[in-house]
Amino acid sequence: MKTLFSGIQPSGGAPSLGNYVGALRNWVKLQERYFCVYSIVDMHAITIRHDAAELRKNCRDMLAFLIATGIDPEASVLYYQSAVPAHAELAWILNCYTYMGELSRMTQFKEKSKKHQDNINAGLFTYPVLQAADILLYNAGFVPVGEDQRQHLELSRDIAIRFNNMYGDVFTVPEALIPESGAKIKNLQDPSRKMSKSDGDGDQGVIYMLDPPDSIASKIKRAVTDSESEVRYSETKPGVSNLLDIYSVFTDKTIAEAEKDFAGVKYGPFKNAVAETVAAALSAIQSRYREISADSAYLDKVIASNTPRAAAIAEKTLKAVKERIGFPL
């Protein structure tokens, strides 16, 4: 099986419904076709100011959540990035093969610099090099990416090719794995934007994976629709179309089938049905999350068994890099 790498930041709280549908649900499916290395990238999380105890808790919570969604820590490698020193060591080496001009063109650096003007640190600038190290350490042939990460993956490819041209084939040059076409869940209050934890709209437009049924119902009840009353999928009806996308995802129905379910149905009952469908689908994940979170011994065991697995792969690659560039062994 070819290797696939992906990482997720422990940003605190449960992921949004948009993140689950767009990424994490796909991670579970990818385990069937690839040897998957999934990292909780806590080193990336410190590019902005944070509370130490909160970060530690967020990492633990994310570990429990990923397992609850269906990530198998025996089939896949699931670990904390900071627990494998090779990430930081390779990142430093790759910094020396990355150009300032390349990093200065990174869109995310520009965006985050605007948001955190009091903390434009070097780590924020070189973040993409650490991301390249994350991927290249595991000889990942594939990386699932959305549009917001495509630029970083292209830089990872450029660094790998540049290094290989200088020292021979050391790194696998990763390819983007574009998610299968499907729903892109939008903000309930503004369906022109994706549903994201960073929306800053008071959370009314975002459903979180651990939201209780009454919260889900309240948010969907307040979801923006339009002045019509027909449940129909159309570019001119983005709010209704978004709710149909959500319904189709969690019922495994096509949009045409979903439209048929609500033929002649008013928006009120339609929203109630969507809310009930989402709450029912999330209940199993929520129950599993609570069970796993309460089992500290199990989580400790997952990390204790997976960290050496990750380190063994990473250190083998790092050793090859050190040999090629001439470090004493």
- pTM metric for this prediction: 0.90
CA–CA dist 177, 141 (Å, integer): 9
| DSSP strands (E only) in the chain | 3-8, 35-40, 77-80, 142-144, 175-177
Phi and psi at 129, nearest 5°, equal: -75, -40
**Average pLDDT estimate for 155-184:** 90
**Contact, 17 vs 207, CB < 8 A?**
yes
CA–CA dist 57, 50 (Å, integer): 12
CA–CA dist 197, 182 (Å, integer): 20
Q: Is the pLDDT of residue 67 over 80?
A: yes
**Average pLDDT estimate for 86-107:** 94
What is the token pair recorded at 143? 């990386």
Q: Provide the pLDDT for residue 202.
A: 58
Q: Is the pLDDT of residue 147 over 80?
A: no
What is the token pair recorded at 306? 């997976």
CA–CA dist 263, 65 (Å, integer): 37
Local structure of 6: helix, strand or coil:
strand
Confidence of residue 122 (pLDDT cuts 50, 70, 90): confident
CA–CA dist 125, 146 (Å, integer): 21
**Average pLDDT estimate for 120-140:** 92
What percent of the chain has pLDDT above 70?
Answer: 96
Q: Is the pLDDT of residue 181 over 70?
A: no
Confidence of residue 263 (pLDDT cuts 50, 70, 90): very high
Return the amino acid letter for 311: A
**Average pLDDT estimate for 245-261:** 94
What is the token pair recorded at 209? 């994976």
Q: Is the pLDDT of residue 121 over 90?
A: no
What is the token pair recorded at 309? 């697995």
Tally the residues of the chain: 329
Give catalytic residue positions. 112, 194, 197
Q: Is the pLDDT of residue 113 over 80?
A: no
Q: Is the pLDDT of residue 320 over 60?
A: yes
Q: Provide the pLDDT for residue 236.
A: 94
Classify the C-alpha dihedral 19-25-28-32 as positive or negative: negative
Distances (CA, A) of 252 to 213, 247, 263, 311: 20, 8, 18, 38
Contacts of 191 (CB under 8 A, 6+ apart): 224, 238, 239, 241, 242
Rounded to the nearest 5 degrees, what angle is found at the Cα of 34, between the Cα atoms of 31 and 36? 65
Local structure of 304: helix, strand or coil:
helix
User: What are the structural domains, with CATH classification, of the chain?
Assistant: 3-178+295-325 (3.40.50.620), 213-290 (1.10.240.10)
| Placement of tokens 């319904």 in the chain | 247
11-25 pLDDT, tens digit each: 888 899 998 998 899
Residue 313: Cβ within 10 Å count: 20
Return mean pLDDT, the chain.
92
CA–CA dist 73, 67 (Å, integer): 7
Q: Provide the pLDDT for residue 180.
A: 64
CA–CA dist 120, 144 (Å, integer): 28
**Average pLDDT estimate for 39-53:** 92
Local structure of 18: helix, strand or coil:
helix
In angstroms, what is the C-alpha Rg of the chain? 21
**Contact, 205 vs 191, CB < 8 A?**
no
Local structure of 194: helix, strand or coil:
strand
Q: Is the pLDDT of residue 157 over 60?
A: yes
